[in-house]
């Protein structure tokens, strides 16, 4: 006697895409290799994305910068300026605007690190005419959340994320 589970009764899903070009999001948001980490943080946050390809002046992908890269960098390099000695008077601990600073405050130094110093310098990519199945298999084999689509000249034309794959699944 065989029993059916809920999964057995569910309809099968199929991939509604033939090529990498069908799966990709065209013209992905990218960041220049000479941008600062602060600029990258603003870009990722403002666009609501978790990573962006890093491109050179010719538009070729040279790496990828993810939130994880930024977190690792931040954990490893944050430096605080020395605390204000106790002999300062409270009236001396105020901003030009007149706002008082609490005891124990710290001033964070400016981080001028460039994106190309902390990015992952590997670009996992497929051509636009690659079979969609290959792009997915590559993502699984490489254990990455996204692959980039580059043309014959190596110029970035799109990105395929795990979410893009899910969007192309249909009953």
DSSP label of 155: B
Residues 33/62, Cβ–Cβ less than 8 Å: yes
Cα separation values, 156 from 18, 29, 61, 114, 161, Å: 20, 10, 6, 21, 14
Distance from the Cα of residue 162 to its chain's centroid:
13
pTM over 0.85: no
Show pLDDT as tens, one digit a residue, over the chain (171 residues): 566 565 667 788 999 999 999 999 999 999 999 999 999 999 999 999 999 999 999 888 899 999 999 999 988 876 665 565 555 555 556 666 767 666 666 555 677 899 999 999 999 999 999 999 999 999 999 999 999 999 998 889 999 999 999 999 988
| Sequence-distant (≥ 6) Cβ neighbours of residue 105 within 8 angstroms | 83, 84, 93
Stated as kind and residue range, the H or E segment containing 126 is strand 125-126
Contact, 36 vs 28, CB < 8 A?
A: no
The residue extents of the domains of the chain are 15-82+114-170
The class (CATH top level) of 15-82+114-170 is alpha beta
Per-residue pLDDT tens digits for 105-130: 655 567 789 999 999 999 999 999 99
């Amino acid at each position: 006697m065989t029993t059916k589970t809920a999964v057995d009764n569910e309809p099968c899903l199929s991939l509604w895409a033939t090529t990498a070009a069908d799966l990709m999001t065209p013209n992905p948001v990218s960041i220049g290799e000479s941008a600062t980490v602060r600029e990258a943080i603003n870009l990722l946050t403002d666009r609501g994305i978790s990573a962006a390809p890093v491109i050179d002046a010719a538009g070729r992908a040279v790496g990828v910068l993810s939130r994880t890269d930024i977190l690792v960098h931040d954990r490893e390099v944050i430096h605080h300026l020395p605390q204000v000695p106790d002999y300062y008077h409270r009236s001396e601990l105020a901003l030009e605007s007149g706002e008082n600073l609490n005891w124990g405050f710290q001033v964070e130094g400016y981080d001028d690190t460039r994106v190309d110093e902390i990015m992952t310098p590997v670009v996992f990519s497929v051509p636009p005419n690659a079979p969609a199945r290959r792009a997915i298999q590559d993502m699984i084999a490489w254990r990455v959340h996204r692959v980039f689509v580059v043309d014959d000249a190596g110029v970035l034309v799109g990105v395929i994320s795990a979410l893009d794959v899910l969007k192309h699944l249909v009953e």
